[in-house]
């Protein structure tokens, strides 16, 4: 209860008017995401809520759009509590309003990567049997598959919702209040079978990370946020909900383009930038001076290179925060600018009230400085209050100051000649070379050692470097078993849509 009161105070809703608005919103909608949006509408109705590629909508307009869509979903598409609504959308107000509208009905909202393959969409439709598919007009595969295997679908055109069939002119009654459904986030990128992570929005369950964002990043002090990360990803979705809760202006773009991002930060005098490291790097390369208005840069979704962290601090000052979490477990640690100054490779400290440990190979708590599997305590999917320990799939350790340091993914670790080798440790050394802009290391089969390392190197513009020169430089900085057996220079390293190194593509080169 103390956390709730603290959050309401920081949100400036700890007043009779603010509490009355929340109670009224809960009475009309039930305890779901729409309650959050209507609370924001009651507090900040005429304030701009979202600016996207198509214009600006206020909190009142956004809430009205969501309510109308909830009625349409209920009366015309016959969406009922517990049924699934699948979304395949980029960042815009139409997606946000449709998401709130579906949540108003107690539906499970399944968020697909907007660049999902036709095979992925078919797999999700076959498994979930959704009541409705909501997609952007530009995603043609969604239209064809929806028409082929699923009759009920809604197309978003120009960032706003329009129905593919003509609405009945008969007035429709509003739908009754409903409890919250699940938010279903899919991992796995744009290929392969996606893995589902379900979250049931809960007022008390997510107070710990929410309060941490408000306190550590000082978000209530700011007015404008630009979220460059996709809303279908847990990171972008969480920030969108925080923005609504705080009554801030959220800047959205359908896709990320560095030149446009730099212009938006300057034009709107953006206070907070939410991005993956690669996006910030591209903005620095495009126009580093455009980042000067920023008071907070929240990096997450991919490892933060220490070289990039130093460059951001040089240009913008101590405004960089490194966030760590997983799709399944949510936000778990935050590294402040002070933490990053102490340990550039850290993901920060465990959030107060959050359970996060490092376990050794015997499933015992690892010693200080000992690398092991990072595990988090999470609520089981299904709406119960049961909890369990979940292996995040990440390797890392905790240093003497309580800071967590990532050592990469467990499935990235290789055993070379009997020694455990973590590619991320080699990558961190490589990017310390002044000629190297970015480096990615993968494991390759080797008859003698079992596995060896192969490094892919992207050089800084205007620099030259040979394999022999780099090998000699590495001999002084890495152990023998950490030395890459092969080094390959590439013009540009490939990345996933979320900015992570695309090691699958590199392995096929």
Q: Give the pLDDT of residue 125.
A: 81
- 202 or 476, higher pLDDT: 476
Q: Mean pLDDT across the stretch 222-233?
A: 94
Closest by Cα among 131, 137, 126 to 94: 137
**403 and 457, same domain (yes or no):** no
Count Cβ atoms within 10 A of the Cβ of residue 484 and give its class: 0-12 exposed, 13-18 middle, 19 or more buried: buried
In a domain, 246, yes or no: yes
Q: Give the pLDDT of residue 135.
A: 87
Query: Per residue in 70-98, is it b (16+ CB within 10 Å) or e — as a string?
Result: bbbbbbbbebebebbbbbbbbbbbbbbbb
Q: Which of the four pLDDT bands, split at 50, 70 and 90, describes residue 397?
A: very high
Q: How many structural domains does the chain have? A: 3
In a domain, 11, yes or no: no
Q: Is the pLDDT of residue 200 over 50?
A: yes
How far apart CA 498 and CA 160 sit, in angstroms, is 24
pLDDT tens digits, 333-375: 999 999 999 999 999 999 988 889 999 988 999 999 999 999 9
CATH code, domain with 85: 3.40.50.980
**246 and 367, same domain (yes or no):** yes
Q: Mean pLDDT across the stretch 196-208?
A: 58
Q: Which helix (H) or strand (E) holds 166?
A: none
In a domain, 7, yes or no: no
Where does 247-322 have alpha helices with state H? 258-267, 277-287, 306-316
Collapsed DSSP state (helix, strand, coil) of residue 321: strand
Angle between helices 207-216 and 2-10 (to 10 degrees): 40
Q: Give the pLDDT of residue 427.
A: 94
Q: Which of the four pLDDT bands, split at 50, 70 and 90, describes residue 169?
A: very low
Q: Which of the four pLDDT bands, split at 50, 70 and 90, describes residue 457?
A: very high
Q: Which of the four pLDDT bands, split at 50, 70 and 90, describes residue 448?
A: confident
Q: Which of the four pLDDT bands, split at 50, 70 and 90, describes residue 177?
A: low
Q: Give the pLDDT of residue 167.
A: 44
In a domain, 9, yes or no: no
**261 and 193, same domain (yes or no):** no
Angle at 185 between CA 220 and CA 201, to 5 degrees: 50
- 448 or 26, higher pLDDT: 448
How far apart CA 383 and CA 388 sit, in angstroms, is 14
Q: Is the pLDDT of residue 152 over 80?
A: no
How far apart CA 497 and CA 139 sit, in angstroms, is 16
Q: Among 409, 425, 444, give the residue marking a domain's end.
A: 409
Q: Is the pLDDT of residue 394 over 90?
A: yes
Q: Give the pLDDT of residue 181.
A: 79
CATH code, domain with 498: 3.30.300.30
In a domain, 14, yes or no: no
| Eight-state DSSP code of residue 496 | -
> Which three-class secondary structure string do you get for 99-134?
HHHHHHCCCEEEECCCCCCHHHHHHHHHHHCCCEEE
**354 and 487, same domain (yes or no):** no
Angle at 248 between CA 246 and CA 251, to 5 degrees: 140
Q: Give the pLDDT of residue 309.
A: 95
- Beta bridge partners, 102, equal none
Q: Mean pLDDT across the stretch 325-337?
A: 89
- Residue that has been written with the tokens 């990171």 in this structure: 235
In a domain, 17, yes or no: no
**362 and 420, same domain (yes or no):** no
Q: Give the pLDDT of residue 166.
A: 40
- 152 or 254, higher pLDDT: 254
- Beta bridge partners, 491, equal none
Beta strands per DSSP E along 282-413: 296-299, 320-326, 330-335, 346-350, 356-359, 372-379, 387-398, 404-409
* 184 φ, ψ (degrees, to nearest 5): -105, 110
Q: Return the minimum-mean-pLDDT range out of 197-211, 445-459, 463-477.
A: 197-211
**383 and 479, same domain (yes or no):** no
* 315 φ, ψ (degrees, to nearest 5): -85, -45
In a domain, 231, yes or no: yes
Q: Among 386, 409, 432, give the residue marking a domain's end.
A: 409
The alpha carbon dihedral of 64, 66, 72, 75 has a sign of negative
- The predicted model scores a pTM of 0.86
Token code pair at residue 495? 């990345």
**187 and 247, same domain (yes or no):** no
In a domain, 436, yes or no: yes
Q: Give the pLDDT of residue 254.
A: 93
Question: What are the residues whose beta carbons fall under 8 Å from the beta carbon of 496, sequence distance 6 or more?
Answer: 189, 190, 502
Q: Give the pLDDT of residue 154.
A: 79
Q: Is the pLDDT of residue 204 over 50?
A: no
**365 and 274, same domain (yes or no):** yes
- 214 or 284, higher pLDDT: 284
Q: Which of the four pLDDT bands, split at 50, 70 and 90, describes residue 175?
A: low
Q: Among 409, 437, 452, give the residue marking a domain's end.
A: 409
Q: Mean pLDDT across the stretch 278-293?
A: 94
Token code pair at residue 47? 């304030």
**155 and 221, same domain (yes or no):** no
Q: Give the pLDDT of residue 500.
A: 83
Q: What percent of the chain has pLDDT over 70?
A: 83
**388 and 425, same domain (yes or no):** no
Q: Is the pLDDT of residue 380 over 80?
A: no
Closest by Cα among 403, 275, 289, 276 to 336: 403
pLDDT tens digits, 129-147: 888 989 888 776 666 676 6
- 385 or 390, higher pLDDT: 390
pLDDT tens digits, 44-97: 999 999 999 999 999 999 999 999 999 889 988 889 988 999 998 999 999 999
**309 and 380, same domain (yes or no):** yes
CATH code, domain with 259: 3.40.50.12780
Q: Give the pLDDT of residue 150.
A: 57
| Eight-state DSSP code of residue 402 | S
Q: Is the pLDDT of residue 198 over 70?
A: no
Collapsed DSSP state (helix, strand, coil) of residue 35: helix
Q: Mean pLDDT across the stretch 180-192?
A: 67
How far apart CA 237 and CA 229 sit, in angstroms, is 9
Q: What percent of the chain has pLDDT over 90?
A: 53
The whole-angstrom distance between residue 130's C-alpha and the CA centroid of its chain comes to: 24
Q: Is the pLDDT of residue 229 over 90?
A: yes
Q: Tell me the residue range of the domain where 331 lies.
A: 207-409
Cα dist from 316 to 137, 287, 292, whole Å: 38, 12, 6
pLDDT tens digits, 17-42: 555 666 666 656 666 788 889 989 99
Q: Is the pLDDT of residue 385 over 80?
A: no
**363 and 343, same domain (yes or no):** yes
């Amino acid at each position: 209860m103390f956390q709730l009161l603290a959050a309401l105070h920081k949100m400036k809703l700890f007043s009779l008017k603010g509490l009355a608005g929340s109670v009224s919103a809960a009475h009309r909608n039930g305890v779901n995401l729409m309650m959050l949006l209507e609370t924001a509408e009651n507090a900040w109705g005429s304030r701009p809520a979202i600016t996207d590629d198509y214009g600006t909508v206020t909190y009142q307009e956004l809430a009205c759009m969501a309510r109308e869509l909830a009625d349409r979903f209920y009366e015309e598409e016959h969406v009922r509590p517990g049924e699934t609504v699948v979304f395949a959308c980029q960042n815009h107000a139409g997606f946000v309003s449709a998401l709130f509208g579906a949540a108003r009905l107690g539906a499970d909202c399944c968020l697909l990567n907007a660049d999902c393959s036709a095979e992925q969409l078919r797999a999700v439709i076959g498994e979930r049997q959704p009541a409705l598919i909501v997609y952007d007009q530009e995603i043609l595969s969604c239209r064809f598959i929806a028409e082929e295997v699923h009759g009920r679908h809604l197309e978003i055109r120009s960032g706003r919702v329009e129905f593919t069939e003509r609405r009945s002119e008969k007035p429709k009654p509003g739908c009754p209040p409903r409890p919250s459904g699940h938010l279903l986030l899919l991992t796995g990128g744009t290929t392969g079978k996606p893995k589902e992570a379900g979250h049931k929005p809960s007022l008390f369950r997510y107070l710990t990370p929410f309060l941490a964002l408000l306190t550590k990043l000082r978000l209530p002090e700011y007015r404008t946020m630009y979220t460059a990360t996709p809303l279908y990803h847990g990171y972008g979705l969480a920030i969108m909900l925080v923005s609504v809760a705080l009554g801030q202006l959220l800047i959205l773009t359908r896709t990320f383009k560095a030149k446009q991002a730099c212009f938006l930060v300057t034009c709107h005098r953006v206070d907070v930038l939410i991005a993956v490291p690669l996006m910030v790097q591209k903005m620095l390369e495009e126009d580093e001076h455009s980042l000067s208005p920023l008071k907070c840069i929240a990096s997450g979704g991919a490892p933060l290179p220490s070289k990039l962290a130093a460059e951001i601090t040089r240009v913008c000052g101590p405004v960089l925060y490194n966030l760590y979490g997983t799709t399944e477990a949510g936000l778990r640690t935050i590294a402040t600018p002070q933490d990053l100054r102490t340990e550039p490779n850290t993901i920060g400290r465990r959030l107060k009230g959050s359970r996060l440990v490092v376990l050794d190979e015997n499933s015992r708590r690892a010693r200080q400085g000992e690398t092991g599997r990072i595990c988090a305590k999470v609520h089981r999917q299904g709406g119960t209050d049961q909890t369990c320990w979940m292996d995040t799939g990440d390797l890392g350790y905790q240093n003497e100051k309580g800071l967590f340091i990532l050592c990469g993914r467990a499935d990235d670790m290789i055993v070379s000649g009997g020694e455990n080798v973590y590619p991320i440790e080699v990558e961190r050394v490589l990017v310390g070379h002044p000629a190297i802009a970015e480096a990615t290391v993968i494991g390759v089969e080797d008859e003698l050692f079992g596995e060896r390392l192969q490094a892919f190197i992207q050089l800084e513009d205007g620099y030259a470097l040979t394999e022999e020169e780099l090998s000699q430089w590495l001999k002084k900085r890495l152990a023998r078993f950490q030395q890459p057996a092969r080094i390959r220079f590439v013009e540009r390293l490939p990345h996933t849509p979320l900015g992570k190194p695309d090691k699958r593509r590199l392995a096929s080169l």
